[in-house]
Amino acid sequence: MRLMFSIVTSSCSSVCSCSSHIWSTHQSTVSTSIPLSKYPGPRLWAITHFPDAYHRATGRQAHLVADMHHKYGPVVRTAPNELSFCEEGAWLDIYGKPVSRSTQLPKDQQQILPPPSGVWNMSQQPSDEEHQRMRRFFAHGFSEKALRDQEPIMNKYFNLFIRRLHENCAKAVDINKWYDLLSFDVMSDLAFGESFGGLENSKLHPWTKSMQAMLRAIPVLGITQKYYPLDRILLLIAKPFLRESELKFYNFVERQVMKRLKLQTPRPDFLVYAQESLNTPESLTFQEICENAGLLMVGGAESTPSALAGVTYLLLCNPTCLAILTSCLRTTFQSVDEINSVTVNIDYLLAVLNEALRLYPPVPSIFSRVTPPEGCFIAGRYVPGNTSVSVSQRGINRSASNFVRPNEFAPQRWTGDAEFRDDQLKVVQPFSVGPRNCIGRNLAFFEMKLVLAKLLYSFDLELCEESRGWMDGQKILFFNVRPPLMIKLKPYVKA
Ligand code: HEM
């Protein structure tokens, strides 16, 4: 689907125009299958796209690829022209711009349907120059200064979140839903200039639900690209659904952006710089602003609640870590109001978040890039041209070669504990690396630190029996598909 990050189900070899992509898929499979044969992997996956495509559609592919790495080693062939890597050097070689190359590897564009408006957002944009041009306009909204200016807007929602939990804590709550409500309220305010009002109404905005459903359909629809001539038929069937959801999404975004740009009072949100430069020769067009506002909304509102839900669950399963962090917060602060972006910088809190991002990366899907026609070196290995390459986050983050007790939640590995001194912390890159890494990294940490600190300061938390095993076997359809996370909250009363 076009509206988000580049979609990751692709196996096509090249960045190709839509009219010709069917043939390029076909040909690339043939042209690269022999040179890739030296890379290990299950035989069936190497000779046909079917297992990869099928498991992407069922949300199991990322789990299975991680298992393959444990079985076969640091490089695995996951489709006729796809390789997955599990080595630190692969991050920069695939997603960055190493000194050995003058350009970035292009995103595998196969799954990106041309937008109805004909305008790409920055994440989909195939041209690096155009990507940089767009990103520059929005980077201002994510600077240190912007974050400081946005703090009062965000604090309003963080405090409302805590108040609403106080009002609802007589019974068990689905904290996953409350994190969603919070993130969508914050992001809609910063991207569109007005909140969805989810926390007030305890309800997700109807647009949010259709957006989530759409995101989850993406990998399923991606299968259409794998089978010639079936891809044409499948795409024909899927297209009306796709286009209808897309149009609903964009009509809504356009209305919101139009309203926001009409506001005369300056506000420190994501659109302020784009608004200021409107009607100047170098400005973004209205359509470009809309495409990117939609992207920021989706990118910000789906990933941060996933991280928060993950860290909450992991803490609840590890009572000692929960007790250390809670006591640290309650001794550092006299009241919840003392927690702000300056005071919240507590090493153990950061360690807890990093460890949760390692075990439960919020964007775990494998965002592939394509090697140039002449091939290139990745982590010291030659990879033939037109190969789709990616890093398996689940594989690299849980590899016994990188971590002591890799599947255990151990925040102390981030604070210099001697037992974990050989851990390869640099392999954990939940925000990716390089010029197309996450623009919202600082904002995400800002939100995660403040929300978690305020929650743990305000309540004693307990996991409900029905949510034990919440993380096990979750589907990955671009993002983690999160079921309800039921917890009990007991307000903390300072002695
Ligand atoms: C824990 C939270 C987050 C995680 C783990 C995360 C992760 C990522 C990753 C892995 C990418 C690279 C995708 C690719 O290469 O295709 C990315 C890109 C992006 N993220 Fe995030 N993200 C988070 C929060 C946010 C927030 C809060 C925002 C905005 C409000 C945001 C906006 C974006 C945008 C616009 C891009 C595309 C950047 C570009 O193409 O230049 N993300 N994110």
Q: What pLDDT is recorded for position 1?
A: 32
Characterize the bridge pairing of strands 388-391 and 82-85: parallel
**Closest C-alpha to ligand 1, atom 30:** 300
Q: Is the Cα dihedral 421, 427, 432, 437 positive or negative? A: positive
Q: How far is the CA of 268 from the centre of ligand 1 (A)?
A: 20
What pLDDT does 110 receive? Answer: 67
Provide the pLDDT for residue 86: 95
Question: For ligand 1, is residue 299 a contact (CB within 6 Å)?
Answer: yes
Q: Annotation-wise, does 438 bind a ligand?
A: yes
11 CA from centroid of ligand 1 (Å) = 22
Ligand 1 centroid, distance to 303 Cα (angstroms): 8
* Nearest of 251, 12, 245, 254 to residue 112 by alpha carbon: 12
pLDDT at 31 (0 to 100)? 41
The string of DSSP codes covering 289-343 is HHHHHHHHHHHHHHHHHHHHHHHHHHHHH-HHHHHHHHHHHHHH-SSGGG--TTT
Q: Please tell me the predicted confidence (pLDDT) of residue 114.
A: 62
Q: Residue 234's pLDDT is what?
A: 66
pLDDT < 50 positions in the chain? 1-33
Mutate to test the pocket of ligand 1, among 438, 442, 476, 479 (most ligand atoms within 8 A of CB): 438
Ligand 1 pocket member 431 (CB < 6 A): yes
- Ligand 1 pocket test target in 10, 303, 450, 482 with most atoms within 8 Å of CB: 303
Select from 50, 14, 17, 87 the least CA-distant residue to 427.
87
Q: Which atom of ligand 1 is nearest to the CA of 432?
A: 10
Pocket test for ligand 1, best of 137, 138, 363 (most atoms within 8 A of CB): 363
Tell me, using a 6 A CB cutoff, whether residue 293 lines ligand 1: no
**Domains, in order of start, for the chain:** 18-491 (1.10.630.10)
